[in-house]
């Protein structure tokens, strides 16, 4: 994808032939497999000398995205997930594809977080995942096409650009 392209179809940062990639993998959707892949990814990002904040952001967002696919898109049974991470100057483009149930699009828009003064027994035990994804990514886009879910987003490499939740000192 060309940075700066405004055509809506270009908003999905999914790989095209010839694009520089640092990782493409296909995994069977399960919690245990997700954990394994996330740990591998963490090691790979660390090896690229990315800031610890960036590595944690990527690890957390991908854990949320993959868990969501396993629990919802593939609720009826496991299926393949294709994950592509490409590194650019200043950001990572990440694209996740699956062949499961469509994503309810309201999840991308977001619902409010529980208010802290709520009674403890009323607190939700779920629903935090999409909030984390939205908080920690830029350029989040979803498309359903040909029976596939495509979700793409960017993660800034400069930790100072990461929204709230920023760790205090960016490491070089």
Partner 1 sequence: MQIESEQSGGALLLRVMEPRIDAAGAIGFKEAVRAATARPGSPVILDLSRVEFLDSSGLGALVAVLKLLGRERPLELAGLTAPVARVLRLTRMDSIFTLHANLPGTPALPQTG
Residue 34 touches partner 1, criterion: CB under 8 A: yes
State whether residue 73 is helix, strand or coil: helix
Check binding of 67 to partner 1 (CB under 8 A). yes
Separation CA 11–CA 15 (nearest Å): 12
Backbone angles phi and psi of 163, in degrees to 5: -65, -165
Piece in contact with partner 1 (CB under 8 A), picked from 15-23, 96-104, 129-137, 149-157 = 129-137
Contact between residue 150 and residue 33 where contact means Cβ atoms under 8 Å apart: no
Binding to partner 1 (CB under 8 A): which residues in 4-33? 31-32
Q: Contact 60/132 with Cβ under 8 angstroms?
A: yes
Q: What is the 8-class DSSP label of residue 47?
A: H
* Residues touching partner 1, count (CB under 8 A): 32
According to the binding rule CB under 8 A, does residue 101 interact with partner 1? no
Task: Report the alpha-carbon distance of residue 82 to residue 148 in Å, rounded.
Answer: 11
When binding is defined by CB under 8 A, the residue of 6, 26, 43, 121 that contacts partner 1 is 121
Rounded to 5°, angle at Cα 103 from 99 and 104: 155
Per CB under 8 A, does 131 bind partner 1? yes
> Does residue 147 bind partner 1 (CB under 8 A)?
no
Residue 64 lies near partner 1 (rule: CB under 8 A): yes
Sites of contact with partner 1 (CB under 8 A): 31-32, 34-35, 38, 56, 59-60, 63-64, 67, 70-71, 113-114, 116, 120-121, 123-129, 131-132, 135-136, 164-165, 167
């Amino acid at each position: 994808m060309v940075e700066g392209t405004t055509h809506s179809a270009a908003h999905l940062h999914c790989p095209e032939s010839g694009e520089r990639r640092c990782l493409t993998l296909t995994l069977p959707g399960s919690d245990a497999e997700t954990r394994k892949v996330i740990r591998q990814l963490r090691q790979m990002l660390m090896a690229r000398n990315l800031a610890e904040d960036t590595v944690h952001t990527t690890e957390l967002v991908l854990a949320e995205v993959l868990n969501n696919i396993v629990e919802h898109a593939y609720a009826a049974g496991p299926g393949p997930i294709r994950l592509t991470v490409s590194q650019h100057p200043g950001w990572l483009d990440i694209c996740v594809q699956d062949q499961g149930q469509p994503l309810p699009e309201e999840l991308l828009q977001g619902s409010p977080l529980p208010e802290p003064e709520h009674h403890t027994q009323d607190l939700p035990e779920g629903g935090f995942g999409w909030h984390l994804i939205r908080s920690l990514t830029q350029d989040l886009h979803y498309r359903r096409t040909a029976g596939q879910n495509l979700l793409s987003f960017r993660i800034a490499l400069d930790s100072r650009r990461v929204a709230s939740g920023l760790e205090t000192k960016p490491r070089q």
